[in-house]
């Protein structure tokens, strides 16, 4: 299972995105799966039309949480790999 912070625009709150990550990984040990988190690349690279400063701040905050929360057994860091 891979959880990514795809939907960071519009009315989606930062807290909702992080809660979704926590919910997605809850109970992983009981089901014997190892959840992976995936960061989302810089918005201007993936979707320049939808880019907003507010969305970029959310994306950056969720990516930081994915990397540092310890909720995932591994992280696929698409943000780190993407050009700026």
Q: Is the separation of the CB atoms in 16 and 62 below 8 Å?
A: no
| Cα 82 from Cα 67, distance rounded (Å) | 16
Backbone angles phi, psi at 76, to 5 degrees: -95, 110
Q: Residue 76: name the closest of 16, 21, 35 by CA.
A: 35
pTM over the 0.85 mark = no
Per-residue pLDDT at 28: 62
- Kindly report, residue by residue over 21-59, the tens digit of the pLDDT: 888 777 666 667 788 888 888 765 555 667 778 888 888
| Cα 63 from Cα 35, distance rounded (Å) | 15
Mean pLDDT, the chain, whole residue set? 76
Cβ contacts of residue 25 below 8 Å, gap of 6+? 3, 35, 37, 71, 72
């Amino acid at each position: 299972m891979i959880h990514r912070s795809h939907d960071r625009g519009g009315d989606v709150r930062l807290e909702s995105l992080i809660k979704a990550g926590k919910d997605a990984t809850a109970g992983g040990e009981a089901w014997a799966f190892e959840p992976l988190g995936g960061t989302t690349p810089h918005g201007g690279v993936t979707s320049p039309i939808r880019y907003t400063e507010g969305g970029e701040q959310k994306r950056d905050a969720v990516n930081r949480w994915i990397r540092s929360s310890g909720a995932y057994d591994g992280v696929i860091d698409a943000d780190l790999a993407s050009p700026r």
